[in-house]
Structure 1
Amino acid sequence: MTGSDPRTAPSTAPLTGPAAPCWVTLMTRDLQAAQRFYSGVLGWTFRPGKIGAEFSVARRGDIPVAGIFAVSTAYQVAVAWTPYFAVADADVAAARVRERSGTVAVGPLTLGKGRGVLASDRDGASFGLWERTEPATSPPAPDDHAHTWLRLRTRNAFDAAIFYGEVLDWASGRPGCCDVAYEGDEVIVRCEGRPLARISSGAVETAVDPLVRPHWQVQFPVADVPVTVAEAVRKGGTLVEERTVVGGSEATLRDPDGALFTVTDVRGPVEAPG
């Protein structure tokens, strides 16, 4: 989780059960430029956050979908999209990260309606943890409204599943916990019965190409991938990779500030193996 800050955003999480992916945030250098880009490419609207002028919440219709936080160029912080996972106790989860050779960069810190942690797993993939301490005030997304899903590209999917399983209590049998299923050389993460993340092997920690290094890939569903790619390029983005996958197609893009994200027309991570 490189420099991201959920703050008020996780009150809008699509899922609130233990260990579920609950939010994504973008750290950027120019908030207004990022809003213009993602508004044109993904059709989002924006509302100011409650913590200052440099934070806003992206919405699709009435549903909050992401947070965008601007950081001064004076700070050496990577521009990146970062996923967050809900936890019952941020202190416990952060300790588990450290115990399993991961890194806690920031937190736990009290932020808005909860406590956040900025961390990375033992292969270097960045992610966040979020403990809600106050009730949500925004309506949840409908069950059939998937606005984001995740894919972890990592060195070894099975080792990564063990790491995240131990940190987040996946497959623990506790009420509301996420389950994992092994399919070939990949792992599917299901939360409340919904497939929300895929873990794939083959990343290389020392690779120069950021797409090859271990990282959490944030994927946004769109109706038409080529049209979305064309609009992103027109607004100053860059096409990094375009692929045909089972069930449709996907494209990895770089926004004008350098943040990588993926758009796809498949219906969920289960249908998009690499």
Structure 2
Amino acid sequence: MLSTDFVPGSPNWLDLGSPDTEASVTFYTALFGWTFFSAGPQAGGYGFFRRGTDTVAALGPLTEDRAEPAWTLYFQTPDADAVAERVRAAGGTVRFGPFDVFTNGRMAGLTDPTGAEFAVWQPGETAGLDAVTAPGTLCWTELYSSDPTAAKAFYRAVFGWQEQDVPFGDSTYTVLTPATGGTDDGQGGILQLFPDQTAAGLGSHWLPYFEVPNTDATIAMARQLGGAVRLPATDAHGVGRFAQLTDPHGAAFAVITSAGPGE
């Protein structure tokens, strides 16, 4: 499970790139009960979603050429420049950076060899998110890849992630833990893109999961707010009930009501 005791390679930030930040604030604050706090005019429209006093995500306008609305996951590193070099050596792309974000930290935008975009955050004054795993916060990360074998080799070279392959229907699900993690430190997974997703032109991408008290109620609220269902609610024994959604601008995310002990 995710923790705010961030170690190298663990998820420590996420933000949403939106073509209409005001509309995105309206959608996500209503959906998750978040509030929004602007970082001020010097931040170029960037700001923070909060659950109570805890920062749980961030939001900013789209800044890259031809960028589409999307959530971006960041992974912790003590050295963003070294990660950028490893990404290049492993066949990935450095889209931007590394650069300093005031005194908060250092970041870089990256793309793996299968086309999935992600980022890294080297903490300065800001270590990362204030809360994870609780309702209304990030609780899991998932990579849908056109080539899971290539993706595993890439992230192993970049972050040293540990992997455990488990059966998943007719395919395989790879559970990921940080290089220094144990069996209880799972942070995400890798799986093959579904055939219907590939047929629809969907490429490799990272998907954030948010914990919610009731998946079906969250789906209904998302629809009411102008979102859509990408994958209907599904029950997984020992995991919980989850669904994949898109916001009104098409940014994809997932929600889950995790199973309790013995479920």
Determine if the TM-score, normalized by the shorter chain, exceeds 0.5.
yes
Q: Contact 2:105/2:125 (CA < 8 Å) preserved in 1?
A: no
Flag the 1:235–1:122 CA change in 2: closer, same or farther, 3 A.
same
Aligned-residue offset at 1:153: 1.1
CA-to-partner distance for each residue in 1:103-137, whole Å, 9 max, x for gaps? 111111111311111111100011001112x2337
Aligned-residue offset at 1:32: 1.2
Q: Contact 1:43/1:60 (CA < 8 Å) preserved in 2?
A: yes
Aligned-residue offset at 1:208: 4.8
Correspondence list, 1:62-81, <5 A: 62-71=53-62, 75-81=65-71
Residue type at the aligned position of 2:165: Y
Q: Contact 2:4/2:129 (CA < 8 Å) preserved in 1?
A: no
1:162 aligns with 2:153: yes
CA-to-partner distance for each residue in 1:7-47, whole Å, 9 max, x for gaps? xxxxxx93421111111110001111111100111111111
Q: Contact 1:15/1:21 (CA < 8 Å) preserved in 2?
A: no
Q: Contact 2:48/2:57 (CA < 8 Å) preserved in 1?
A: yes
Aligned residues: 244
SS of the residue corresponding to residue 78 of structure 1 reads coil
Flag the 1:140–1:161 CA change in 2: closer, same or farther, 3 A.
same
1:265 aligns with 2:252: no
Aligned-residue offset at 1:226: 1.4
Aligned CA RMSD, in angstroms, stands at: 2.7
Consecutive unaligned residues in structure 1, runs of 5 or more: 1-12, 171-178
Correspondence list, 1:99-138, <5 A: 99-112=89-102, 113-132=104-123, 134-136=124-126
Matched with 2:173 is 186
Q: Contact 1:217/1:261 (CA < 8 Å) preserved in 2?
A: yes
SS of the residue corresponding to residue 240 of structure 1 reads strand
TM-score by length of 1: 0.79
Flag the 1:213–1:159 CA change in 2: closer, same or farther, 3 A.
same
Matched with 1:91 is 81
- Identity percentage over the alignment? 29
CA-to-partner distance for each residue in 1:57-111, whole Å, 9 max, x for gaps? 0112222111100237x95321101101111211111111111111111111111
Q: Contact 2:56/2:130 (CA < 8 Å) preserved in 1?
A: no
Residue type at the aligned position of 2:248: P
Flag the 1:241–1:145 CA change in 2: closer, same or farther, 3 A.
closer
